[in-house]
Chains A and B, each alone.
Chain A
């Protein structure tokens, strides 16, 4: 009788000390690691970002410096099959028709392209998330905000971008300088025309989340709407926002390059990948590398970002995770 009563809760006690609980982000990382493409993509994105940030300190050649004696040099690897080619180790990727170093130009161009991509993506995310959250949370705003989103979705984006860039180039250049003005303009137009998908996804998720019990609980203890949005709703929509962020980065880089390619992008002495590619198309029979190198960089970056997005989508979806 006594030994039975000694430990009435024995069956309820844990036999071993409990393991530390696994955090959500550790699960996400474990799933993400299994997607090889996403790992490579993310790795390449980190690599290219570091390369364009740190590159100018390692390869200290001024991308704008004219060196007419050493113009039209070929990349060093051309010497493998063409012994007479004009190559040199001090210009590993060759020079253009004014003797500007191509490696330095690619680094500088990458800086511009990545900066535009990141800034436009952040802008689009900010607009998209705020419109999505407001439309999803406040019923009164929903109808008009979503009609507005539909309207913007049915605008022809590329023609409008072209129109906007050609029209506002001059006033912005006058106010912020040729490079600053163009940067603001391109980031602005790309950001303002690519937030719609984010807004739709975020709104849908918020609409569903809003009806859940924890929001009801939060409201019943008197939490204000702003607090509910910041503390309870936004952390729960981080995953769709992250996925659309990767897509946004990819489209922003491509759009910037496309604008530069069509000749309405940055001023002529300011390299971006799209601009380097567009300038080289005229003489691509003699110097194919000048088209191919920036093209490969754009494509690989976008490919990496897209794979990263794919992996993130799988890793952040709890239904797929663990399979």
Chain B
């Protein structure tokens, strides 16, 4: 198992390098000019100097190499400095955003908590709702609960978040006036009342994202439970007189969780990508919204870094899912 993990980790390095190259080349084709906003009175030779200051004067492969060095060598040093108070990264060039002229990673670090709170919480809520639904509807297959559960998850699967978001805002913010329609990220929780405000503003974005997660995972849970409920070992467990609760919750559930856990792990990065829309609807200033504004502002270093962070998440969670599968299921051997 360990050798497999190490091999996969090493293999993921060329994968990530290739992905970064694809993103970089795609962005190189961008027609947008970062100097477009500079006044026309600025003479061309000054503009050329400004362009070079942004690192645009160099040939493409040097630009790519510099980005690699900045992202994989200098940024970790900055992080190390921040944690241990050393000064390895002193005076070294970091990845700079063209919009704000400040390091990209600093902005990303500012935005990540909002995304993690909303997206992470919604994922957990979604899983917590999905698992019981999936278990019970498989146990009572074709019952009323199963039929309606399957129908509701199918609806949740089909309604896009850019529709559920505005719909919830119309119903709960405009008509009923219960919940705020905009997520206020400057809000600080200090006491019970402010916690209530925070809770209220999180309900809608979390529910919108959780609906998608619930729909997907409960469908997997149901079919995985159904696969296992018909197995011989279940009949044996019943035949030796185990209580129904023990049979379902220990024998069947444990075996059914194996594929579901890998699906849960695989879904984590896609939830980050999907949150771009939800963050846009509820005006959460997380990394999805940051990517969108950077795109419209032609801020190439920011777009490059953010897209690459998403790619790292995908590769990482693919790896985690594969390793988990091997750890949980002794029948699966990679070596």
Residues of A within 8 A of B (CB): 37, 150-151, 154-160, 162-164, 166-168, 170-171, 250, 254, 257-258, 261-262, 274, 277-278, 281, 284-285, 288, 291-292, 295, 298-299, 302-303, 306-307, 310
| Contact for A306 among B154, B166, B273, B291, CB less than 8 A | B154
Q: Specify which chain A residues have a CB less than 8 angstroms from the CB of B76 in the assembled complex.
A: none
Given known contacts A156-B269, A171-B31, A291-B170, A299 and B307 CB-to-CB distance under 8 angstroms: no
The answer, yes or no, to whether B295 is at the interface (CB within 8 Å) is yes
| Contact for A154 among B281, B303, B318, CB less than 8 A | B318
Tell me whether A277 and B154 are in contact (CB under 8 A).
no
9 closest A-B pairs by beta carbon, nearest first, are A156-B310, A295-B163, A303-B158, A302-B158, A158-B273, A261-B162, A299-B159, A159-B307, A154-B314
Q: Specify which chain B residues have a CB less than 8 angstroms from the CB of A281 in the assembled complex.
A: 166, 281
Q: Specify which chain A residues have a CB less than 8 angstroms from the CB of B280 in the assembled complex.
A: 261-262
Further contacts, 10 of them, CB under 8 A, given A160-B307, A281-B281: A151-B18, A154-B314, A154-B318, A155-B311, A158-B273, A159-B273, A162-B295, A167-B29, A299-B155, A299-B158
| Cα-based distance from A158 to B291 in the complex (angstroms) | 11
Tell me whether B162 and A257 are in contact (CB under 8 A).
yes
Q: Specify which chain A residues have a CB less than 8 angstroms from the CB of B155 in the assembled complex.
A: 299, 303
Task: Give, as a whole number of angstroms, the nearest-CB distance from B153 to chain A.
Answer: 10
Tell me whether A154 and B163 are in contact (CB under 8 A).
no
Given known contacts A163-B303, A163-B307, A277-B166, A302 and B30 CB-to-CB distance under 8 angstroms: no
The answer, yes or no, to whether B276 is at the interface (CB within 8 Å) is yes
The answer, yes or no, to whether B57 is at the interface (CB within 8 Å) is no
Residues of B within 8 A of A (CB): 15, 18-19, 22-23, 26-27, 29-32, 151, 154-155, 157-160, 162-163, 166-167, 169-170, 174, 269, 273-274, 276-277, 280-281, 291-292, 295-296, 303, 306-307, 310-311, 313-315, 318
Describe B's contact surface by its main secondary structure.
helix
Tell me whether A258 and B30 are in contact (CB under 8 A).
no
| Cα-based distance from A295 to B163 in the complex (angstroms) | 6
Task: Give, as a whole number of angstroms, the nearest-CB distance from A151 to chain B.
Answer: 6
Q: Specify which chain A residues have a CB less than 8 angstroms from the CB of B30 in the assembled complex.
A: 167
Task: Give, as a whole number of angstroms, the nearest-CB distance from B113 to chain A.
Answer: 20
Q: Specify which chain B residues have a CB less than 8 angstroms from the CB of A285 in the assembled complex.
A: 170, 174
